[in-house]
C-alpha cells in the first residue's frame, strides 16, 4: 500500500513538473530586460521556499522530539533536513547562473547570498553532527537543539534584503510588496512550480524517512548480534 | 516564445537544477539498496547464531 502511494506521488510530481516546464518554455513570454535567463527564477525562488519549509519542519519535528522523546520525530527531522539540502543547492546554483548574466559575476559576498550559503552550510553541518555521534539518544538530543537554533539562519536569509542594502533584488512577490512588482501570470507560475517542488520534496521525504527508520532497525540488529558474542 | 538572448545560460540553469535533484535521487536509490542488504545480512547472522546456541 505504502509502495503504491509512493509511486502515485512520484508520478503526480513528474507530471506536474512536466506540465510546468511546458508552460515555462512555451506559453510564458520572455522578460523584457533579461531575455530567456529570467526563467531560472521559476526554480530559484521555489527551490528556496521548499528548502525553507523543510528547515521549518525540521525545527518543529526536533522540538517534538525534545518534548515527547519519540524516535519518529528524530527520524523525520533528520530526513527532512537532508531533503531540504538539494533544494537549497538548486537555489544557490541557479542564482549564481542568473548573476553571471545580469550582474556579470558568479558570486558576491552580499548579505543575502552569504546568509543563504551559511544557512545551507549549517544544515550540512547538522547532517555531519549526526554522523559524528554514535549514541542514538545523544545524537537525537544534540541535533534537535541544533535544528531549532539553525532556523534563525533561514529567517535571517529571508529578511536580509529588507534589513540590508543588497545587490540581490528586493522582494517581488505580492504577499510581501502588496502587488505591482511582478506580472500575475509569472507569479502564478511561481506558485505552480512551488507546489510541484513541494510534491517532489514530499516524495523524497517519504523515501528518506523510511531509510532513517531502517537505519534505526540496523542499529538495533547490530546490538542484538553483538549480544550473542 | 523564447528568444535567443541568454538562452545558453538559461539552459545551464535548468540543467543545474535538475542535475542536483537527479544526483540526490541516485544517492537515495543506492542507499536504499545498501540498507536492504545490510538488514538481510544482519538478520541472517542473528538467525545463524540463534541456531548454533
Q: Give the CA angle between residues A36, A41, A30 to the nearest 5°.
A: 30
Q: How many domains does chain A have?
A: 1
Nearest to B45 among A44, A215, A225 (CB): A225
Nearest chain B Cα distance for residue A60, angstroms: 24
Pairwise CB contact (< 8 Å): B42 & A222: yes
Residues of B with CB below 8 A from A208's CB?
Answer: 28
Residues of B with CB below 8 A from A25's CB?
Answer: 2
Cα–Cα distance for residue pair A147/A157, rounded to 1 Å: 16
The answer as to whether A24 is a domain residue is no
Nearest to B20 among A86, A214, A225 (CB): A86
Pairwise CB contact (< 8 Å): B24 & A86: yes
Provide the domain limits for residue A200.
37-228
Residues of B with CB below 8 A from A27's CB?
Answer: none
The answer as to whether B35 is a domain residue is yes
The answer as to whether A152 is a domain residue is yes
The answer as to whether A13 is a domain residue is no
Q: How many domains does chain B have?
A: 1
Nearest to B9 among A89, A101, A222 (CB): A101
Pairwise CB contact (< 8 Å): A94 & B3: no
Cα–Cα distance for residue pair A155/A200, rounded to 1 Å: 23
Residues of B with CB below 8 A from A218's CB?
Answer: 35, 38-39, 42
Secondary structure (H, E, C), chain A:
CHHHHHHHHHHHHHHHHHHHHHHHHHHCCCECCCEHHHHHHHHHHHHHHHHHHHHHHHHHHHHHHHHHCCHHHHHHHHHHHHHHHHHHHHHHHHHHHHHHHHCCCCCCCCHHHHHHHHHHHHHHHHHHHHHHCCCHHHHHHHHHHHHHHHHHHHHHHHHHHHHCCCCCCCCCCHHHHCCCCCCHHHHHHHHHHHHHHHHHHHHHHHHHHHHHHHHHHHHHHHHHHHHHC
Provide the domain limits for residue B24.
20-53
The answer as to whether A14 is a domain residue is no
Nearest chain B residue to A227, by CA: B46
Cα–Cα distance for residue pair A90/A94, rounded to 1 Å: 6
ipTM over 0.95: no
pLDDT band at B2 (very low <50, low <70, confident <90, very high): low
Q: In DSSP terms, which residues pair with A31 in a beta bridge?
A: A35
Contact A83, A208 (CB under 8 A): yes
Cα–Cα distance for residue pair A221/A77, rounded to 1 Å: 23
DSSP class of B20 = H
Q: Determine contact: A218 vs chain B, CB below 8 A.
A: yes
The answer as to whether B33 is a domain residue is yes
Pairwise CB contact (< 8 Å): B28 & A30: no
Contact A147, A81 (CB under 8 A): yes
Q: Which residues contact A104 (CB under 8 A, 6 or more apart)?
A: none
The answer as to whether A44 is a domain residue is yes
Each residue's pLDDT, cut to its tens digit, for chain A (229 residues) gives 778 888 899 999 999 999 999 999 888 888 888 888 889 999 999 999 999 999 999 999 999 999 999 999 999 999 999 999 999 999 999 999 999 999 999 999 999 999 999 999 999 999 999 999 989 999 999 999 999 999 999 999 999 988 998 889 887 787 777 777 778 888 899 999 999 999 999 999 999 999 999 999 999 999 888 887 6
Contact A170, A164 (CB under 8 A): no
The answer as to whether B1 is a domain residue is no
Pairwise CB contact (< 8 Å): A90 & B21: yes
Q: Which residue has the cell 534589513?
A: A163
CB atoms near residue A56 (< 10 Å): 15
The answer as to whether A3 is a domain residue is no
Amino acid at each position: 500500500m505504502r509502495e503504491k502511494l509512493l509511486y502515485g506521488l512520484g508520478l503526480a510530481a513528474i507530471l506536474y513538473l512536466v506540465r510546468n516546464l511546458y508552460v515555462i518554455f512555451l506559453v510564458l513570454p520572455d522578460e523584457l530586460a533579461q531575455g530567456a535567463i529570467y526563467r531560472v527564477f521559476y526554480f530559484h525562488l521555489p527551490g528556496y521556499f521548499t528548502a525553507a519549509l523543510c528547515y521549518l519542519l525540521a525545527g518543529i519535528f526536533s522540538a517534538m522530539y525534545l518534548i515527547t522523546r519519540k524516535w519518529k520525530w528524530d527520524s523525520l527531522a533528520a530526513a527532512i533536513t537532508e531533503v531540504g539540502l538539494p533544494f537549497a543547492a538548486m537555489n544557490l546554483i541557479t542564482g549564481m547562473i542568473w548573476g553571471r548574466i545580469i550582474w556579470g559575476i558568479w558570486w558576491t559576498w552580499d548579505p543575502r547570498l552569504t546568509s543563504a550559503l551559511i544557512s545551507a552550510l549549517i544544515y550540512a553541518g547538522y547532517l555531519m553532527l549526526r554522523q559524528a555521534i554514535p549514541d542514538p539518544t545523544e545524537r537525537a538530543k544534540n541535533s534537535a537543539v541544533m535544528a531549532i537554533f539553525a532556523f534563525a539562519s533561514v529567517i535571517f536569509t529571508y529578511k536580509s534584503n529588507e534589513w540590508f542594502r543588497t545587490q540581490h533584488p528586493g522582494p517581488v512577490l505580492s504577499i510581501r510588496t502588496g502587488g505591482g512588482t511582478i506580472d500575475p501570470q509569472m507569479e502564478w507560475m511561481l506558485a505552480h512550480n512551488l507546489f510541484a517542488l513541494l510534491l517532489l520534496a514530499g516524495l523524497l521525504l517519504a523515501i528518506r524517512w523510511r531509510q532513517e527508520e531502517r537505519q534505526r532497525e540496523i542499529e538495533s540488529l547490530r546490538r542484538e548480534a553483538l549480544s550473542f558474542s | 516564445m523564447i528568444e535567443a538572448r541568454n538562452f545558453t545560460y538559461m539552459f545551464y540553469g535548468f540543467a543545474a537544477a535538475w542535475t542536483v535533484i537527479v544526483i540526490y535521487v541516485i544517492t537515495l536509490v543506492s542507499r536504499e539498496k545498501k540498507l536492504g542488504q545490510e538488514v538481510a545480512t544482519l538478520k541472517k547472522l542473528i538467525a545463524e547464531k540463534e541456531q548454533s546456541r
